[in-house]
Amino acid sequence: MLINLPISKSIANRVLILQALRGENLMDISADTPEDVVVMHEALMALHSKTPPTHIDVGNCGTAMRFLTAYCAQLNDCKVILDGCERMRKRPIGQLVEGLANCGADIWYMNETGYPPLRITGRKLYYVKHAINRAKYTLNNPASSQFVSAMLLVGLPVESNSTSPYIRMTKRIMQQNTGFITLDTIERDWSSAAFWYEYVALHGGELELAGLSQDTLQGDIAIVDIYRQLGVETTFTAKGIKIHRTGKPKRWLFLNFRDYPDLYPAVAVTCRQLGIHLLARGTETLTIKESNRIEAVKEYKTYGDHRIAMALLAAGLECDNKECIRKSYPSFYEQLCQLA
pLDDT tens digits along 76-116: 999 999 999 999 999 999 999 999 999 999 999 999 999 99
Containing structural domain, residue 114: 8-184
Q: Which of 126, 150, 184 is the last residue of a domain?
A: 184
Backbone torsions φ then ψ of 82, nearest 5 degrees: -105, 120
Which CATH number is 90's domain given? 3.65.10.10
Q: Tell me if residue 245 falls in helix, strand or coil.
A: strand
Same-domain pairing of 105 and 245: no
> Contact, 13 vs 63, CB < 8 A?
yes
Same-domain pairing of 100 and 195: no
> Contact, 294 vs 287, CB < 8 A?
yes
- CA quadruple 224, 226, 227, 230: dihedral, nearest 10: 160
| Span 32-57, pLDDT tens digits | 999 999 999 999 999 999 999 999 99
Same-domain pairing of 268 and 155: no
Residue 320 lies in a domain: yes
Residue 3 lies in a domain: no
Same-domain pairing of 126 and 152: yes
Residue 24 lies in a domain: yes
Give the rounded percent of residues in the chain with a pLDDT score beyond 70.
98
Nearest to 206 by CA among 256, 167, 172, 245: 245
Angle made by CA atoms 186, 255, 1, in degrees to the nearest 5: 45
- Judge whether residue 60 has pLDDT over 80: yes
Backbone torsions φ then ψ of 187, nearest 5 degrees: -55, 145
Same-domain pairing of 207 and 273: yes
| Span 132-152, pLDDT tens digits | 456 689 999 999 999 999 999
Same-domain pairing of 139 and 288: no
Same-domain pairing of 227 and 165: no
Q: Quote the number of domains for the chain.
A: 2
Same-domain pairing of 162 and 198: no
